[in-house]
C-alpha cells in the first residue's frame, strides 16, 4: 500500500493513524504506517516531552507525527476564567440534575476534572510545538483548520510536512492557499468533529480542488477494501482514528467503555454538540440524548459547552456510569467487534487491500498482474 506520499515520508503503508495513546502511535509506525500522536490532552509541556521521548525510544527509528489543535487566527486577552463566567446557570443546573438522575458520584475533593479548554488554546499548542520540534517528527497535523502562517513556516524550516483536516472542498482550497502540504478529507462518517459530506463524495472533490497536493481520505475507513477504494478515488493514503480505540495497545482506562465499543453497531453513533458545542460524532448514549432533547436547554457554542461538561464527563468516565458513558468514534465502530493488536489491524488492512486489487484486476481482465 505504497504511494508517492508514503514513499516521501519513508513509510511502508499509506496508513496514517491518529491516536491519543503513545503506545498505539508507536505500534502503528512499527507496523509500517505513520503513527500520529494527538497532543490536545497535554496541557503540561513536561508530559508531552516524556511521551515524545518514549516514542523516540519505541518506534524503532521509524517516522511518526503530532496532531495539535490551534486556530489560524489568534484571540487576544481571553482566559479560561473569562469564558467560564459566560455559562448560564440554567445549563449548570441541567448538568447537575442529569448527573443526579443517574446517581453519578462527585469527584474527590481537590481532584482535577480532566479535559479543559486549555488544551484548545493557542498558547498551549505553541508550547507543545516548542517541545515537538526538538524531536524527529515528520508530520504536523492540525485538526482546527490551517495553523498560523508562522507555524507552517517553522515546520517547513525543519523539514516537517504540515497537514490539515477539511470537511469540504472550500475548506481544502483554503488549506492549499495557506501553504499546507497535505489535506485530510474527513467525511461525515468519521469520529469527532465532522462536516456534512460523506467520504465517498468528499474525497474526489478535495482531490480535484487541491491538485497536485496529496490528499488523505478519512471517515468510515477500517478495511483494506476501503483503503483501496480511497486510493481509487485519488487519495494518496488514509487517515484512521477510531479503529485503534479497541486495540490491545490502547489505554481507555475503562473496561465498560471498551465493552460498549465492541458491542456497538454502525448505527449506534450520533453527531451531537453535547461534548464540545460543535457537531462531533460519538457513541449515542443517554447523555447525548439528554442534550439533544428539545425539552432541554440545548447545547452552548464552543468552547462554553466543553467547559460546562468537563467535570461531568470526568465523573461519568471515572465511575463508569454505563448509560451515560461514551466517546468520540466513527461509524466504523460496527467493524470493531474484537480486541486486536495494532499489528493485527494493519495486517488485516494489507490483506484486504490485496484482495480488493486482485478483484479489480480480474474485472479489468488483468488477472495475475499487480
Per-residue pLDDT of the chain (370 residues; tens, 9 = 90+): 999 999 999 999 999 999 999 999 999 999 999 999 999 888 889 999 999 999 999 999 999 999 998 765 555 555 667 777 889 999 999 999 999 999 999 988 877 766 555 555 677 888 999 999 999 999 999 987 899 999 999 999 999 999 999 999 999 999 999 999 999 999 999 999 999 999 999 999 999 999 999 999 999 999 999 999 999 999 999 999 999 999 999 998 899 999 999 999 999 999 999 998 989 999 999 999 999 999 999 999 887 898 899 999 999 999 999 999 999 999 999 999 999 999 999 999 999 999 999 999 999 987 655 4
Q: What is the pLDDT of residue 276?
A: 87
Neighbouring-strand partners of residue 184: 165, 216
3-class SS string, 325-367: CCCECCHHHHHCCCCECHHHHHHHHHHHHHHHHHHHHHHCCCC
The Cα 305–Cα 297 span in angstroms is 12
Give the three cell numbers for residue 164: 490539515
Give the strand pairing for 237-240 and 15-19: parallel
The Cα 4–Cα 312 span in angstroms is 45
The Cα 318–Cα 324 span in angstroms is 12
Q: What is the pLDDT of residue 370?
A: 47
Give the three cell numbers for residue 139: 508530520
The Cα 53–Cα 58 span in angstroms is 9
Could you list the beta-strand ranges (E) of 42-111.
64-68
The 8 Å CB, 24+ separation contacts for 40-46 are 40/67, 40/68, 40/69, 40/115, 40/119, 40/120, 40/143, 41/115, 41/119, 42/119, 42/128, 43/116, 43/118, 43/119, 43/124, 45/127, 45/128, 45/130, 45/131
Compute CA distances 91 → 79, 217, 295, 298, 307, whole Å: 21, 37, 13, 8, 11
Cβ 140 vs Cβ 179: under 8 Å: no
Neighbouring-strand partners of residue 15: 238
CA triple 327-123-121, angle to 5 deg: 30
Give the three cell numbers for residue 287: 447523555
pTM for this prediction: 0.93
Count of alpha carbons within 13 Å of 321, Cβ hemisphere only? 21
The Cα 58–Cα 60 span in angstroms is 6
Q: What is the pLDDT of residue 143?
A: 83
Place of cell 515524545: 52
Q: What is the pLDDT of residue 121?
A: 64
Amino acid at each position: 500500500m505504497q504511494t508517492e506520499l508514503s514513499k516521501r515520508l519513508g513509510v511502508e503503508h499509506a496508513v496514517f493513524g491518529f491516536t491519543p495513546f503513545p503506545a498505539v502511535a508507536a505500534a502503528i509506525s512499527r507496523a509500517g504506517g505513520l503513527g500520529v500522536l494527538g497532543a490536545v490532552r497535554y496541557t503540561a509541556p513536561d508530559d508531552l516531552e516524556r511521551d515524545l521521548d518514549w516514542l523516540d525510544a519505541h518506534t524503532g527509528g521509524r517516522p511518526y507525527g503530532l496532531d495539535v489543535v490551534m486556530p489560524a487566527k489568534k484571540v487576544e486577552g481571553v482566559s479560561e476564567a473569562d469564558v467560564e463566567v459566560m455559562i448560564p446557570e440554567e445549563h449548570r443546573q441541567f448538568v447537575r440534575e442529569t448527573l443526579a438522575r443517574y446517581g453519578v458520584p462527585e469527584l474527590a475533593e481537590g481532584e482535577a476534572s480532566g479535559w479543559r479548554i486549555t488544551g484548545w488554546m493557542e498558547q498551549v499548542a505553541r508550547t507543545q510545538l516548542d517541545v515537538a520540534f526538538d524531536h524527529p517528527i515528520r508530520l504536523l497535523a492540525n485538526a482546527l483548520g490551517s495553523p498560523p502562517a508562522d507555524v507552517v513556516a517553522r515546520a517547513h524550516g525543519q523539514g516537517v510536512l504540515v497537514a490539515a483536516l477539511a470537511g469540504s472542498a472550500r475548506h481544502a482550497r483554503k488549506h492549499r492557499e495557506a501553504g499546507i502540504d497535505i489535506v485530510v478529507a474527513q467525511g461525515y462518517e468519521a469520529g469527532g468533529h465532522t462536516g456534512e459530506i460523506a467520504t465517498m463524495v468528499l474525497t474526489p472533490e478535495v482531490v480535484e480542488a487541491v491538485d497536485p497536493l496529496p490528499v488523505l481520505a478519512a471517515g468510515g475507513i477500517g478495511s483494506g477494501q476501503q483503503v483501496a477504494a480511497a486510493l481509487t478515488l485519488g487519495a494518496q493514503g488514509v487517515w484512521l482514528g477510531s479503529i485503534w480505540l479497541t486495540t490491545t495497545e490502547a489505554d481507555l482506562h475503562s473496561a465498560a467503555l471498551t465493552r460498549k465499543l465492541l458491542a456497538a453497531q454502525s448505527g449506534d453513533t450520533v453527531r451531537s454538540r453535547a461534548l464540545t458545542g460543535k457537531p462531533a460524532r460519538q457513541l449515542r448514549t443517554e447523555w447525548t440524548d439528554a442534550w439533544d432533547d428539545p425539552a432541554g436547554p440545548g447545547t452552548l457554542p464552543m468552547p462554553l459547552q466543553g467547559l460546562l461538561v468537563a467535570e461531568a464527563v470526568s465523573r461519568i468516565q471515572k465511575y463508569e456510569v454505563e448509560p451515560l458513558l461514551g466517546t468520540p468514534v466513527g461509524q466504523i465502530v460496527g467493524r470493531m467487534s474484537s480486541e486486536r493488536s495494532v499489528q493485527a489491524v494493519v495486517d488485516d488492512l494489507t490483506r484486504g487491500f490485496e484482495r480488493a486489487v486482485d478483484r479489480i484486476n480480474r474485472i479489468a481482465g488483468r488477472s495475475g498482474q499487480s
